[in-house]
Structure 1
Amino acid sequence: MPTTRMRRAVVLVTVLLGAGVQSFSGAPSPPPPSPLLPRLVSEGHAPGAALLAGPAYSADPGASTESAASADSAHSPDSANSAHSSDAANSADPKRPAGFPDSAHSTDSTRFESAGTGIRRADRFRAGSVTKTFVATVVLQLDAERRLRLDDTVASHLPGLLAGPTGRRVTLRALLSHTSGLPDYATSPGPAPTTAVEAVRSALAVRPPRPPGSYAYANTNYAVLGMVVERVTGRSYATEARRRIINPLGLTGTSFPGARTALPDPHGRAYDARGRDVTSLDPRGAGAAGELISTLDDLNRFYAALLGGRLLPPSQLRALLDTRPAHGAYGLGIYPRTLSCGTTVWGHNGHIPGSYVRTAATADGRRSLTFRVNTDTLAAGTLAALEPALLEDEFCTDRERSRAGS
């Protein structure tokens, strides 16, 4: 009977609509924008600030990363001009670790926020000392391949670089963990060196090395590591990072500029503390300690892969996160921060003229946050106060729980 059928149809539609409304209303609403990011701009007197946060890329924890042998066969080493990657070269290797999408873009559930002016999500920027995590990953991969050992001395790979007993007692592990006792060339007076050898010599001209064992952050350590990678592989650290990390992960916005002074497009502008445009600069003064160019998406993707076990075997991953040599302050090219909620996040910051960036991720690599400002100096105290607050806001508050859908 038509009337009965109509009634049944009305009931069915009502039930379906009710189910849809219930499903929609039960879905977690997106968290509100962080109130902290605008404070980096207003209180820090920065032109702009941005962050990208959210769940990491999908990863199969049971799958192992291919060794680099199966992959495509502020100071730079002597071969900077010829061996560094270009953006075209960065996309040349189609191989990807299992579990990662082919695209370098992040999932739809990530959150991008910006404040002030001049920063877009896709912009490339100078990532400073985040370079150290890339270089450390290359060294640990070489350790896994038994092409070097972390307890090798500098003298065993670079005889004569560090004179006297220093070269015979400083190990690669000490360089990676900043416990070598070498002085920091970045604090040396005079013009910035343009090669790694110059960087080491300028550091040692200021003061002699201290005995190894105490943690003291020094860019010189990574200038030496860049030379070790080149001596062991016959290729620059930039080439090795490209073929071992950048290409396999599809980090299409990441490159090592070598002597190239311009940022690749797209990019915004970068400013020093006096408001001068420093977008173009000679990156050779950063080299293996800090020359990297990258994007928000790429940095989240890299740390997710690294901590998720996509780039290192278990033994080397444990070594990466071992802070005992540095008495809890630093691992090997990465450092921890334990938050008030008990969560420990791992990552690195980067500080170079015109840019400050900080990346942090959970120990399993499943959640990450990268934020940046387009100046290298914020107003006094602003960064010290707001960086921890940004990490707490992302990893310890209802924001994190709402994003996880719990």
Structure 2
Amino acid sequence: MGWRLTMRCPDAPGLSVGTCLVTAVLSVTACGTATDDVAVPVAARDPSTDTRPAPAPDVSASAPGSDVSAPSEEPSSRRPGDTAAEPDPDATSVTTTVAASTAPSTTGRPTASTTTSTTITSTTTVPPVASTTTIAATVTTVPTTTVAATITLPLPPPPDRVLSDPFLHASNAAFDRLARAPGASMTITRGGQIVFSRASGQTIDGQPATGDSPMVVASVSKLVVALAVARLHEQGRIDAYGPVPWGDIGLSPNPAWNDVTVRELLDHTSGLPTARSSWFTGEGGCRDHVPSLLTPPPQGHRGTWVYSNGNYCLLGLLVEQRTGLPLDQALQQLVFDPVGAGGVHLTSGGLQLGDVPHSEGVERLSRLGGAGTVVVSTDDTALAFGRLTPTDLWVLQPPGVFTDQYGWGHTGTVDGAKSCIWVLDGGDTVVSATIAGNTVSTGGDVCDIIVPAIATDLGIGSARPGRTP
């Protein structure tokens, strides 16, 4: 449990933070357009010969201190994950990791800005009680069922690294750049707890936006769905390295798809076409659109990274089938309940009064399903990715996630929304930011603003990220 201080400051020149109204409440903190396909060769995985063991079921290791190998670098300007539909033509490949160093966490002190909410969470927190879980590396037949009782993930150990700048000046400056948009939100967690949360703009019902106000996050939806797949793999209800259970999800593709694996969907190596604009035109949802992509056999680029919304549309259908729940409810139980976060929903149900408005309208996103319809706050995503289990990290691998020299994560871009979530410093630090608007071109641009900023405050670098694939 932590005390959340919410500061609201009017737009008055020279007004000090000390004259702002401060209220204290007790709170529990527990895809754009590109022009060319990009093919990045990756080593194809054969699940029958994959000898890597599943990690031990140690929930207490939810945020390991060692770095996780995920995609290393995305490019400059337009990038693969920057859109809900297409990859970036400039991608290069550089794999780098950053080791952790020593010392405890310190909270940041944000500066005042117009119509801005700020959250500072104290370090006095009682960790939830850990529940035991089991991990199954191989599953062949899994019946439709209701999602298992929610576990509560414990807080990880305090971060080893001491902040170079405990006041997070660079991160505050980064948010000020994002706040040029009609709506913006940015959250940082360290050791699984919120240490920085700022937002600007208003919600649909006219209230000041906060870090807990849900926003359209475009292709960051994919990372949330991938985490749900990891949790179902851990429960033994999905084999992340086994064939896609086409019949179970009610699809009858060309027989050439029969040996395509869940891992290939996660990695964008399944051979699905990009099918750019078709994801934003026409009626119906993901289930209505994806069968047309499965009538021909996998394309010749199978085994090579080619970004396609179809992969995560299918993964969303699989999550629904395995849990017996609508996708938003399944994501809530699998991803957000374990960290005490709530409020996730989908654009297919329309926006809610407490959401930050999306000026372009959400109807055109309905076909994306698990590829881009999630509406969620930066507080909630930062919390969820601040407490990852060993199995989560085993499933969240490149090229399904992107990496740079600081860590790994995902971006999202559609007209009217740009988003980035990034895990740094061996998992000890997570930064999540979303804007409602088009003041930057892509979610990769959001990453280029926030990732070097928190890296500066951590003292691990300040260079522009180089992301891949």
TM range (shorter): 0.5 to 0.7
Is 1:320 the counterpart of 2:395? The answer is yes
Per-residue CA deviation, residues 330-368 of structure 1 (Å, 9 max, x unaligned), is: 23xx32222xxxx3x222222234211111122543212
**Counterpart Cα distance in 2 of 1:136 and 1:226:** 9
1:173 paired to 2:235: no
Equivalent in the alignment of 2:255 = 164
Cα distance, 1:162 vs structure 2: 2.1
The reply on whether 1:336 has 2:399 as its aligned counterpart is: no
- Residue 214 (str. 1) matches residue 312 (str. 2): no
Q: 2:434 aligns with which of 360, 369, 372?
A: 372
Alignment partner, residue 271 of structure 1: 359
Contact 2:366–2:373 at 8 Å: present in 1 too? Answer: yes
Note if contact 2:411-2:443 (Cα within 8 Å) is conserved in structure 1: no
User: Residues 249-297 of structure 1: CA distance to partner in whole angstroms, max 9, x if unpaired?
Assistant: 222232235x422x2232333234xxxxx3x536522211111111121
Question: What TM-score results when the alignment is normalised by the length of structure 1?
Answer: 0.61
The answer to whether 1:245 aligns with 2:331 is no
Residue 400 (1) aligns with residue 400 (2): no
Q: 2:451 aligns with which of 388, 391, 402?
A: 391
Alpha-carbon shift at residue 225 of structure 1 (Å): 1.5
Instruction: Give the C-alpha shift of residue 145 in structure 1.
Output: 2.8
- Which residue identity does 1:350 align to in structure 2? G
Alignment partners' CA distance in 1, 2:302 and 2:279: 24
Tell me: CA distance 1:267–1:386, structure 2 relative to 1, closer, same or farther (3 Å): closer
Unaligned runs of 5+ in 1: 1-27, 39-47, 70-82, 84-92, 273-277, 324-329
Q: Which moved more, 1:173-182 or 1:232-241?
A: 232-241
Of 303, 307, 311, the match for 2:385: 303
Q: Taking structure 1 as reference, are residues 285 and 197 closer, same or farther at Cα in structure 2, changes over 3 Å only?
A: closer
Name the structure 2 match of 1:356. Answer: 418
Counterpart-to-counterpart distance in 2, 1:303 and 1:250: 12
DSSP 3-state at the match of 2:290: helix
Q: Deviations over 1:103-138 (max 9, x none)?
A: x99767325265999854342211222222222222
TM-score, normalization by structure 2:
0.54
Question: Given residue 381 of structure 2, which amino acid in structure 1 is its aligned partner?
Answer: L
Matches within 5 A, 1:4-403: 63=130, 66=133, 96-99=152-155, 109-112=195-198, 114=200, 119-154=209-244, 155=246, 157-158=248-249, 161-165=252-256, 167-188=257-278, 191-203=281-293, 209-257=299-347, 259-261=348-350, 263-272=351-360, 278=361, 281=363, 283-306=365-388, 309=389, 314=390, 316-323=391-398, 330-331=399-400, 334-338=401-405, 343=406, 345-362=407-424, 364-375=426-437, 377-378=438-439, 387-395=447-455, 397=456, 399-401=457-459
Query: For the residues of structure 2 that align with 1:369 and 1:105, how far apart are their CA atoms?
Result: 4
Give the share of equivalent positions with the same residue, in percent.
21
**Distance in 2 between the 1:147 and 1:29 partners?**
39
Considering only aligned residues, what root-mean-square deviation do their CA atoms show, in Å? 4.6
Q: Which has the higher helix share?
A: 1
| Distance in 2 (alpha carbons) for counterparts of 1:98 and 1:29 | 20
Larger radius of gyration: 1
**Cα pair 1:196 1:287 within 8 Å, conserved:** yes
C-alpha change, 1:122 and 1:168, in structure 2 (3 Å) is closer
| Aligned partners of 2:155 and 2:387 also within 8 Å | no
Query: Match of 2:31?
Result: none
Question: Is the contact made by 2:411 and 2:421 (CA closer than 8 Å) also made in structure 1?
Answer: yes
1:392/1:251 CA distance change after superposition, 3 Å: same
The CA distance in 1 between the partners of 2:366 and 2:218, in whole Å, is 12
Aligned length: 308
CA distance in 2, matches of 1:187, 1:55: 46
Cα shift at 1:179: 0.7
Distance 2:321 2:231 in 1: 15
The change in CA–CA distance for 1:173 and 1:57 in structure 2 (over 3 A counts) is: farther
In the TM superposition, what is the alpha-carbon distance from 1:66 to its structure 2 partner? 4.5
Q: Tell me the secondary structure at the aligned position of residue 286 of structure 1.
A: helix
Give the letter for the 1:161 counterpart.
Answer: S
- Structure 1 Cα separation of the partners of residues 325 and 340 of structure 2: 21
Per the alignment, in what secondary structure is the counterpart of residue 253 of structure 1? coil
What secondary structure is seen at the aligned counterpart in 2 of 1:305?
A: coil
Check the 8 A contact 2:222/2:312 in 1, yes or no. yes
Counterpart of 1:163 in structure 2: which amino acid? N
For residues 199 and 285 of structure 1, the distance between their equivalents in structure 2, rounded to whole angstroms, comes to 7
**Counterpart-to-counterpart distance in 1, 2:296 and 2:428:** 43
**Partner SS for 2:269:** coil
State the alpha-carbon separation in 2 of the partners of residues 244 and 386 from structure 1. Answer: 27
Is 2:357–2:436's contact at 8 Å kept on the other side of the alignment? yes
Unaligned runs of 5+ in 2: 1-105, 137-145, 157-186, 461-469
Deviates more, 1:128-137 or 1:230-239: 230-239
**CA distance in structure 2 between the aligned counterparts of 1:208 and 1:29, rounded to whole angstroms:** 49
Query: Post-superposition shift, 1:175?
Result: 0.2
